[in-house]
A and B are shown apart, each in its own frame.
Chain A
Amino acid sequence: MAMKPQRKKRLTTILAGIVGVGAIVGLVLYASDQQMNLFITPTEINAGSAPKDRIFRIGGLVKVGSVVRSQTSLQTDFIITDNFADVNVTYDKIMPDLFREGQGVVAMGKMNEQGIFVASSILAKHDEEYKAPEVLDALERAGHPVEKSDKG
């Protein structure tokens, strides 16, 4: 089925328009790649890309065995890791429910002189896995325990 010439022309114009706008948007997004990221990783901080005296966000996993809770205040010290590099973090407010060792978190705050990240807010990430509690019990019986929520 042959298309009429003017229809073909309109179709080509539309397709060219989409490609053109797509290229513009793609280049803009590519150029502002760093700003598009919500957070930077411990590896990037170690490489020196952490802004000085400015609030920024870091993201990674709470290192297993690193969480130290204060007995007298809400202060919690822990390490955020991306399995290549670590960053020490301190936080003195209420943690989100999903905060636990091994959990993904995004912390917002500033680096102090000692190289400790003083967080002003902590957000918990959750991954794309959805499991029933029974599956976890089965995993535990099989010898692969996964840390459990108190909400269950």
Chain B
Amino acid sequence: MWTWFFQLASPRWFYQTANRLLAWLRPLTLVLFLVGLYLGLLFSPADYQQGNTVRIMYVHVPAAYLSMFAYVVMAVSGAIGIIWRMKMAHMVSVSCAPVGAIFTLLALLTGGIWGKPTWGTYWEWDARMTSELILLFLYLGYMALHSAFDDKKTADRAAAILAIVGIVNIPIIHFSVEWWNTLHQGATLSKFEKPSIDADMLKALLTMILAFQLYFFVALLQRIKAEILEREKLSGWVQKLVSD
């Protein structure tokens, strides 16, 4: 039952599996982006209040969701790395950070661009925006901490601890709009009732979320591959791979 788990722990096996996955993940991501952009920019209607400004949602919502998803992957793989002393898990964790940081930055920027015409401000220190900004600082802190150590093992463990501690911020981001008075509106999709969104807008949004999700895996797998080559450069199979 645990064979897959130990196979996953082998950098060589992971590298080869990543290659096989990427072969069909890359074109699928591209197709989903094209369909999603068509649905979002042309097919879906404008909003009754916001007009065409609402289309920023098709980038903002997936980016914000993945900024949190990437963090959870980073923290969980960091924890697996610490508990099982598995170097492959640390490589996954380290590879998540820059990808997650970019999604966070994208969510903050598109949020500002969306906020100006609808709310009347780029930025307000409300709980949702502030906690998302803290998420960006957690990613940056993680990367800074990891690069501060010369020894990879120490760096992996120290950074993983930071990632694990920072996970308390994830529920805060999600529930901030419920717990406190915020400028940011409440959840549209992730609530127990029916999503309060037009059906055509929902189609576009879900397609874009899926496209971003797959793009995340593509970017993550490519970073992991680079990380494997870097760390295993002295091993026989990497030497052979490079010389071929």
Contacts and interface: CB of A to CB of B under 8 A. Distances in A.
17 contacts: A14-B82, A25-B168, A37-B181, A38-B125, A38-B182, A59-B181, A98-B49, A106-B124, A125-B185, A129-B197, A130-B188, A130-B201, A133-B45, A133-B46, A151-B46, A151-B51, A151-B52
Nearest to A4: B84
B119 A126 contact: yes
A123 B201 CA distance: 25
Contacts of B84: 7
Interface string A114-134: 000000011111111111111
A17 B48 contact: no
Describe A's contact surface by its main secondary structure.
Answer: mixed
A11 B79 CA distance: 8
Given A25-B168, A128-B196, A130-B201, 14 more contacts: A7-B84, A14-B82, A18-B164, A37-B127, A39-B181, A123-B124, A124-B119, A125-B119, A125-B183, A130-B54, A130-B197, A132-B48, A136-B48, A151-B51
A143 interface: no
B200 A128 contact: no
Nearest to B2: A1
B232 interface: no
B30 interface: no
B196 A98 contact: no
A38 B45 contact: no
Contacts of A121: 120-121
Contacts of A70: none
Interface in B10-66: 45-54, 57
Interface of A: 1, 7, 10-11, 14, 17-18, 21-22, 25, 29, 33, 36-41, 59, 96-98, 106, 121-136, 146, 148-149, 151-152
Contacts of B187: 128
Candidate in A40, A131, A134 with the most chain B CB atoms within 10 angstroms = A131
A133 B167 contact: no
B181 A131 contact: no
Interface in B195-223: 196-198, 200-201
Interface of B: 1-2, 45-54, 57, 79, 82-84, 117-121, 124-127, 164-165, 167-168, 172, 179-183, 185-188, 196-198, 200-201
Contacts of A59: 181
A126 B49 contact: yes
Nearest to B191: A128
Contacts of B180: 33, 36-38
A18 B165 CA distance: 6
A29 to B, nearest CB: 7
Contacts of A136: 48
Given A14-B83, A38-B127, A38-B183, A135 B198 contact: yes
Contacts of B121: 121, 123
Contacts of B125: 38
